[in-house]
């Protein structure tokens, strides 16, 4: 009887620990995240212009590595940096919100700089928006 | 000759006056925070990439937000939010199309804080409901910002909360919208 009790308690402890860690599990580490798709900023933008639904099927929620040229750098009042990449379009581009859960090696960016960014695609409004971006 | 000079001067003044009344305002960095408060848990998520357009001539105001760009403190909650409640793979956006009531009655050239009423159609999770809410329009140094906090009944948008977490997620969530506008410049 005692053996079964011990085993049962162990099971409860393991289940409890599992539940605790799942509930408190951290967001994925973007530096370690595996790139699922590699694309140029212009290609990504054009894919969304051609067919948003198909582009979403391909890219939504995926960890993407985007290469492009920085069109604009902006920092909001909370210190969060957003880089807009050239898309080939005059008005709209690829917006990359830098990850606020990562300690970035580079925090100063310049317009015109060529850069590779890894982030998660969240879709398109007027620009294509990627969040949790890190420099590759 | 003098007449021509006066007329051309008049024309220049007329065409270069950028009266605030004839402008479209835009942003792609609108801030939206939604919160759910229950005795069991307080959940909050924010999105800093909302787009919005405000046409001060007609009072038309619109905003759109990508669901997957909402960031939660807890990764698990963000997952549940997207996969179970919002079904963001199928409904990647939420948006509002409406108008600020009686905007023409407000003098936008004077700095000030103006209480306004906003009404229109709010679409979340593929469901659209007419909403009406209070907000404020703040004019400072020629800049316009709009703020509003309103409540949304989750059930109105066919969002189902599973029994197991029903005590953790409020039936009515609060949405706070804060938008700083810029003049929409068309690059010629």
Minimal C-alpha gap between B126 and chain A (Å): 15
Measured between CB atoms, does B48 come within 8 Å of chain A? yes
Mean pLDDT computed over every residue of chain B: 87
Q: Which domain holds residue A110?
A: 37-135
Minimal C-alpha gap between B18 and chain A (Å): 21
Chain B residue numbers with beta carbons less than 8 Å from the beta carbon of A74 are 29
Residue B71 belongs to some domain of the structure: yes
Residue A124 belongs to some domain of the structure: yes
Q: Does residue B8 register a pLDDT over 70?
A: no
Nearest to A125 among B64, B78, B186 (CB): B64
d(CA B72, CA B67): 12
pLDDT at residue number B17: 45
Strand partners, B117: B134
Is the Cβ–Cβ distance between B50 and B63 less than 8 Å?
A: yes
Nearest to A127 among B28, B67, B71 (CB): B28
Chain B residue numbers with beta carbons less than 8 Å from the beta carbon of A28 are 75
pLDDT (tens digit, 9 = 90+) per residue, A103-121? 999 989 999 999 999 999 9
pLDDT at residue number A77: 82
Is the Cβ–Cβ distance between B46 and B71 less than 8 Å?
A: yes
Residue A3 belongs to some domain of the structure: no
**DSSP per-residue string spanning B56-125:** TTT-EEEEEEEGGG-EESSHHHHHHIIIIIS-TTT--EEEEEEEETTGGGS-TTS-EEEEEEEEEEEEET
Mean pLDDT computed over every residue of chain A: 94
DSSP B19: -
Residue B96 belongs to some domain of the structure: yes
Is the Cβ–Cβ distance between B119 and B101 less than 8 Å?
A: yes
d(CA A77, CA A81): 10
Domain count, chain A: 1
Counting residues of chain A whose pLDDT is more than 70, the rounded percentage is 100
pLDDT at residue number B75: 93
Mean pLDDT of A16-34: 91
Mean pLDDT of B88-99: 96
Distance of CA B25 to the CA centre of its chain: 12
Residue B137 belongs to some domain of the structure: yes
| pTM for the model | 0.86
pLDDT at residue number A51: 97
Minimal C-alpha gap between A7 and chain B (Å): 27
Nearest C-alpha in B relative to A78? B48
Subunit contact A125:B29, Cβ cutoff 8 A: no
Measured between CB atoms, does A136 come within 8 Å of chain B? no
Nearest C-alpha in A relative to B82? A61
**Phi-psi category of residue B141: left, alpha or beta, with phi > 0 → left and psi -120 to 50 → alpha:** left
Q: Does residue B2 register a pLDDT over 90?
A: no
Nearest to B28 among A26, A28, A95 (CB): A95
CATH code, domain carrying B51: 2.40.128.110
pLDDT at residue number B188: 42
Is the Cβ–Cβ distance between B87 and B125 less than 8 Å?
A: yes
Interface test with A, best of B31, B41, B43, B66 (most A CBs within 10 A): B66
Between strands A63-75 and B24-37, the pairing is: unpaired
pLDDT at residue number B16: 45
Measured between CB atoms, does B65 come within 8 Å of chain A? yes
pLDDT at residue number A79: 85
CATH code, domain carrying A59: 2.40.50.140
Mean pLDDT of B23-40: 91
Domain count, chain B: 1
Minimal C-alpha gap between A2 and chain B (Å): 33
pLDDT at residue number B42: 87
Q: Which domain holds residue B176?
A: 25-183
Q: Does residue B19 register a pLDDT over 70?
A: no
Chain B residue numbers with beta carbons less than 8 Å from the beta carbon of A122 are 49, 66-69, 92
Mean pLDDT of A17-22: 88
Measured between CB atoms, does B93 come within 8 Å of chain A? yes
Residue B4 belongs to some domain of the structure: no
Subunit contact A125:B75, Cβ cutoff 8 A: no
The mean-pLDDT minimum among A20-24, A128-132, B47-51, B83-87 falls in: A20-24
């Amino acid at each position: 009887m005692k053996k079964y009790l011990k085993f049962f308690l162990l099971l409860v402890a393991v289940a409890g620990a599992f539940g605790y860690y799942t509930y408190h599990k951290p967001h994925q580490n973007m530096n370690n995240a595996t790139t699922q798709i590699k694309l140029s900023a212009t290609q990504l933008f054009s894919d969304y212009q051609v067919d948003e639904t198909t582009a979403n099927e391909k890219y939504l929620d995926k960890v993407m590595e985007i290469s492009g040229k920085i069109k604009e750098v902006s920092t909001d009042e909370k210190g969060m940096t957003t880089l807009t990449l050239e898309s080939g379009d005059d008005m709209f581009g690829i917006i990359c919100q830098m990850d606020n859960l990562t300690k970035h090696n580079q925090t100063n960016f310049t317009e015109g700089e060529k850069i590779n960014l890894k982030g998660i695609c969240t879709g398109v409004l007027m620009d294509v928006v990627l969040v949790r971006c890190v420099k590759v | 000759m003098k007449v021509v000079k006066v007329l051309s001067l008049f024309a220049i003044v007329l065409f270069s006056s950028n009266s605030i009344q004839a402008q479209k305002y835009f942003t792609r960095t609108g801030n939206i925070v939604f919160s759910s408060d229950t005795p069991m848990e307080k959940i909050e998520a924010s999105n800093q990439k909302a787009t919005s357009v405000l046409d001060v001539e007609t009072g038309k105001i619109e905003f759109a937000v990508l669901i997957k760009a909402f960031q939660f403190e807890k990764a698990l909650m963000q997952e549940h939010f997207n996969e179970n409640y919002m079904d963001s793979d199928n409904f990647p956006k939420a948006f509002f199309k409406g108008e600020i009531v009686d905007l023409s009655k407000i003098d936008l050239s004077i700095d000030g804080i103006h209480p306004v009423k906003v009404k229109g159609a709010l679409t979340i999770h593929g469901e659209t409901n007419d909403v009406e809410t209070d907000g404020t329009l703040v004019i400072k140094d020629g800049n316009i910002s709009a703020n509003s906090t309103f409540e949304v009944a989750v059930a109105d948008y066919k969002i189902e909360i599973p029994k197991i977490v029903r005590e953790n997620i409020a039936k009515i969530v609060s949405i706070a919208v804060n938008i700083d506008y810029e003049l929409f410049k068309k690059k010629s």
